[in-house]
Amino acid sequence: MKITSNNIASFLGSTLNGAVSTIERFAPLSAPLPRSVVFAKRYSDESVRALNSCNEVLAIVPRDFAGRLTCGYIVSDNPRLDYIRVLSHFFVQERPKGFIHPTAVVEQGASIGRDVYVGAGCYVSAQCVVGDGCVLHPHVVLDNRVVLGHHCEIKSGAVLGQEGFGFERDEEGEPVHFPHFGDVVVGNNVFIGSNTTVERATLGSTVIGDNVKIDDLVQIGHNSHIGEGSMVTVGAIVCGGAVLKPQSYLAPNVTVKEKVTIGYRGFAGIGAVVLKDVEDNTIVAGVPAKEINRNK
């Protein structure tokens, strides 16, 4: 399909400024290419020069670029977000729908929704439910009782639903494992990264809410609850029974102690070790984590 700068402006519900051009590719602001779409997050004279040096570029830019560009441009309140929307709509190639790779193992009894993609080497056990439009990249494991909502994406190597690390010492001091009988319940539009583990609950459920985004190499402990719209980035550890209320954010390598609650729109900075509850709209950092600011 031929894409024009007018098509993109119409898709964003915006006005195209400057000449109409054909758009064939995307490029970074540092190296704009002919017939490409680029974005600038903030104004600089250097960015203006870069954009004006290349013909047939479509730029998605903040308002203070207006009137300074010779290329086509669209003014946006959030250029990066609009650029993401453009790439997703015009350039991302969807995986085949309703496809289960021949090497995947989907046990009898598993419920697979419509338009689901199951990649090579995946394993889905008999008690699992996979909602409509989900994508399981190669070598994803859904074990025991895992329920995925609609339009979830699980990257390669992620393991959901296996037992966690729960032990009690006996009279001789030997660790005895606590059997896990619970499940993992994942909402709609959830993203889970590569080599991330989400443990099934001991009793009850480990819950991942709607629109949660979890990065690679994250550990979500048994009986944890990750609230709607939260983001958990690379290397974070959420210990058993911890709660992240909606819109929380964990920066890389954060550790949240078991049964600790991070409040609505709580934010834990890089490497923080969160040992006690965090109030709503609060930013914490450090070891142990302490309040440093409030979200506006």
Catalytic residue of the set 137, 139, 150, 222: 222
d(CA 140, CA 101): 12
Mean pLDDT of all residues in the chain? Answer: 94
Q: Tens digit of pLDDT for each residue in 59-109?
A: 999 999 999 999 999 999 999 999 999 999 999 887 888 899 999 999 999
Buried/exposed code over 99-135 (b: 16+ C-beta within 10 A; e: otherwise): ebeeebebeeebebbebbbbbebbbbbebbbbbbbbb
What 8-state DSSP symbol labels residue 63? G
- Check pLDDT > 80 for residue 1: no
Q: How far apart are CA 207 and CA 230, in angstroms?
A: 12
Bridge partners of residue 131, in order along the sequence: none
What confidence score (pLDDT) does residue 55 get?
Answer: 80
**Enclosing H/E stretch for 50:** helix 45-52
For residue range 156-212, list pLDDT tens digits in order.
Answer: 999 999 998 888 898 999 999 888 999 999 999 999 999 999 999 999 999 999 999
Q: Is 222 a catalytic residue?
A: yes
What's the confidence (pLDDT) of residue 267? 97
Task: Categorize the per-residue pLDDT at 295 as very low, low, confident or very high, splitting at 50, 70 and 90.
Answer: confident
Distance CA(296)–CA(278), nearest Å, equals 16
Q: Which domains, ranges and CATH numbers included, belong to the chain?
A: 3-90 (3.40.1390.10), 99-294 (2.160.10.10)
pLDDT score of 199:
97
Whole-number pLDDT of residue 54: 85
Model pTM score: 0.87
